[in-house]
Amino acid sequence: MQPLPSLLDYPVEVLRQQFPLLQTTMNGKPLVFLDSAASSQKPQMVLEALDHYYRYTHANVHRGVYTLSQEATEAYEQGRRIARRFLNAAHDEEVLFVRGTTEAINLVAASYGRKYLQHGNEILLSGLEHHSNIVPWQLIAEATGAQIRVVPVLDNGELDLDAYRKLLGDRTRMVAVAHVSNTLGTINPVEEIIRLAHDRGVPVLLDGAQAAPHTTIDVQALDVDFYAFSGHKVYGPTGIGILYGKKKWLEELPPYQGGGEMIAQVTFEKTTYAELPHKFEAGTPDISGAVGLGAALQFVMDAGREAIALHEARLLEYTTGNLLEIDGLRIYGTAAEKAGVVSFLVDDIHPYDMGTILDQLGIAVRTGHHCTQPLMDRFGIPGTVRASFGMYNTREDVDRLITGVRKAVRMLK
Amino acid sequence: MSIKEIQEEIIADFAFFSDWMEKYEYIIELGKSLPLINDTYKDEAHLIKGCQSRVWLHAEMDGDVVRFSADSDAIITRGIIALLIRVLSGQPPEAIGQADLYFIDRIGLKEHLSPTRANGLVSMVKQMKLYGVALAAIEK
């Protein structure tokens, strides 16, 4: 085995220079940004791609015969091709532009549910899901009479796979789980989850919102049926995301929204739908978003996803070790495989108080339930303080966090 | 003292602090010293839900003035509650309903009373003033 390259080999300072917002201050102190799991900052090339698109290329896509419209269409479709490479999807038309992970899951829940779910069917979720991978299923369950079943979470933040095997049954029609937990950082064993579901002929949706910034994704190797992620967590613009769906599913599913772009022929008696992917992209799409997302995904692939993952894993290890030296500090989520985030509490100090003091020190962390209330109930806590990493975070950021937490503890105890 | 006079007093107190740490240390101390709400009132009916922290509020008439007691699970929120109680508790209901709470802005704690903070404080202030308006109406 090759020795792992050292942290020093990763050009974090060079990458960091690409992010204008990281050069600013907050409350008079140089910004330490440790909330990338909520939304990452944007590199120069994404900002330039957006600016360039609106300045020189903008027109509506797919309909114009004139050159500018064709150039805009090309820029939009180039974004899709880059996203296809990012996911290693087999076909461009399996890659749909959506507003983000939330819309992606709502689309699958609504379209799949309308066609395939009936009274007595079951949808299998897990106890560590973000509300975005719970509520859309509740809506369609209510409409169809299907039931939601939940794979429990173990004390260390891993899923109980034995329980999963038992819950997978004749009534299961869909398995929808997070690839990586946004609150605990757990990397779920998605290969096994998918294999077990497929053994019973059940399709799987992965919520990849927290995986896309930190890991290499290969939807063909995973053999996953649906994969969703948001652009703004992968250094791209807000308001754009990707839903990957296997072609056989996307061809089967009814459209989610009706409108322009998604039709082949409209009469008042009957409408026929456009080919994939346009069938699922009603209305004028977020063209600049697609261009910006393409630039962001290309930036991530150029920086090297293995290198980013390794850098972040080392930061996570460094942070965890240093946090655990603080008296009374407990880490939530101690799974063997983790990515991107560390959640903690110190004694009975409320996350809001910790977050307020850290804010004064120029350190941006997230506090609260992180849109995973069932998971907080599982651990019997109101919320946590969560530090999360991006490709641009440094050991100095972590050192400032540790000093800040110690200071907050002194003030609040 | 009137609501305005108490606000001026608090603004003068805060003028002594030279940096944010002294200010927050003071708020944290206030949070620790807040007379706790009677446990029987710390229930669902008195709870003001915030996404970040939770607040319980109780109001009752004492002669012709309103007495507030409150609590929160976060100590900085409790400290700010202590200031709000200092300003509004013991005042006639009509004055509470009409109060302009400008002191929060002047002592640099405005961000804690921003709806985006979701700490329950915005709703609590609304609720306190609502008590004022309602109790004034009952008095009449």
Question: Which of B30, B51, B52, B71 should one mutate to test binding to chain A, selecting the residue with the greatest count of A CBs within 10 A?
Answer: B52
CATH architecture, range B3-139: Alpha-Beta Complex (3.90)
pLDDT > 70 in chain A, percent = 98
pLDDT of residue A55: 98
The minimal CB distance from B24 to the residues A357, A367, A369 is found for A357
* A contacts of B118 (beta carbons < 8 Å): 368
For residue A213, indicate whether it is catalytic: no
pLDDT of residue B123: 84
* A contacts of B24 (beta carbons < 8 Å): 356-357, 360, 411
Q: Which residue of A has its CA nearest to B28?
A: A412
Structural tokens at position A360: 């004064």
Cβ contact, residue pair A357, B25, below 8 Å? no
Residue A1 banded pLDDT, cuts 50, 70, 90: very low
Cα separation, A286 vs A75, in Å, equals: 12
DSSP state of B37: P
Residue A7 has pLDDT above 80, yes or no: no
Cα separation, A320 vs A331, in Å, equals: 8
Give me the residue spans of the domains in chain B.
3-139
Cα separation, A392 vs A308, in Å, equals: 9
Cβ-based neighbours of A205, under 8 Å, separated by 6 or more: A105, A108, A174, A175, A176, A177, A224, A225, A226, A227, A228
Structural tokens at position A292: 């910006």
Q: Which of A155-159, A266-270, B73-77, B108-112 has the lowest mean pLDDT?
A: B108-112
A368 touches chain B (CB under 8 A): yes
B51 touches chain A (CB under 8 A): yes
Q: How far is A73 from chain B (nearest CA, A)?
A: 38
Active site residues of B: 51
B78 touches chain A (CB under 8 A): no
A382 touches chain B (CB under 8 A): yes
Query: Once rounded to an integer, what is the mean pLDDT over residues A270-290?
Result: 94
pLDDT tens sequence across B87-107 = 999 999 999 999 999 999 899
Residue B38 has pLDDT above 50, yes or no: yes
pLDDT of residue B44: 86
B33 touches chain A (CB under 8 A): no
Query: Once rounded to an integer, what is the mean pLDDT over residues A282-303?
Result: 97
Cβ contact, residue pair B74, A369, below 8 Å? no
Residue B40 banded pLDDT, cuts 50, 70, 90: confident
pLDDT of residue B54: 86
A247 touches chain B (CB under 8 A): no
pLDDT tens sequence across A217-239 = 999 999 999 999 999 999 999 99
A403 touches chain B (CB under 8 A): no
Q: Options 3.40.50.10470, 3.40.640.10, 3.60.20.10, 3.30.1050.10; which CATH number does A47-302 get?
A: 3.40.640.10
Q: Which residue of B has its CA nearest to A368?
A: B52
Report how many Cβ contacts below 8 Å link chain A to chain B.
40
A406 touches chain B (CB under 8 A): no
The minimal CB distance from A356 to the residues B21, B25, B76 is found for B76
Which CATH topology does A7-42+305-412 take? Aspartate Aminotransferase, domain 1 (3.90.1150)
Cα separation, A370 vs A182, in Å, equals: 7
Cα separation, A366 vs A363, in Å, equals: 10
Cβ-based neighbours of A347, under 8 Å, separated by 6 or more: A328, A409, A413
Cβ contact, residue pair A352, B25, below 8 Å? no
* B contacts of A383 (beta carbons < 8 Å): 52
pLDDT tens sequence across B58-74 = 999 999 999 999 999 89
Q: How far is B88 from chain A (nearest CA, A)?
A: 24
Residue B121 has pLDDT above 90, yes or no: no
Give me the residue spans of the domains in chain A.
7-42+305-412, 47-302
pLDDT of residue A4: 47
Cα separation, A92 vs A101, in Å, equals: 19
pLDDT of residue B35: 65
